[in-house]
Amino acid sequence: MSIVKEEHKATLRKWHEELQEKRGERASLRRSTTVNDVCLTDGFRLFLKNRQIKWQDEPEWRITALALIAAVSANVKAIDERQPFAAQLAAVMSKGRFYSSVGSKNTG
């Protein structure tokens, strides 16, 4: 059972493909150290645009959740449906870097 709708997966895949072509935007997401940093990147704005989301129409927690998804997804080079998302991140992101990217004080 998946709580993620197919349309959301398709939107994420489309954004991820566009992000691979826009290396500067991907790099800015990867360099972000806080949720606020992520929200200020062009890569995140592209993500919101693809989902047709307007800041004023969404609760604050949802924008935060989307920012975290964008930040973590920017570290995945290619989406492989055969592997779990965490396995795709394993090669490029250490546990400490993951905690840093989501703004957690816990360093594992």
What's the pLDDT tens digit per position in 14-71? 888 888 899 899 999 999 999 999 999 999 988 888 777 666 677 778 888 889 989 9
Examine residue 106 and state whether it is found in any structural domain, yes or no. Answer: no
Q: Is residue 93 a part of any domain in this protein? A: yes
Domain housing 79:
6-101
Q: Is residue 108 part of a domain?
A: no
Confidence band for 73, pLDDT divided at 50, 70 and 90: confident
DSSP letters, 9-64, are HHHHHHHHHHHHH-HHHHHHHHH--SHHHHHTSHHHHHHHHHTT--GGGS-HHHHH
Q: What are the angstrom distances between the C-alpha of 66 and each of 36, 46, 61, 69, 70?
A: 12, 12, 9, 5, 6
Per-residue pLDDT, averaged over 88-95, amounts to: 64
> Would residue 107 count as lying in a domain?
no
Residue 1 included in any domain: no
Does 87 map to a domain? yes
- Tally of structural domains, the chain: 1
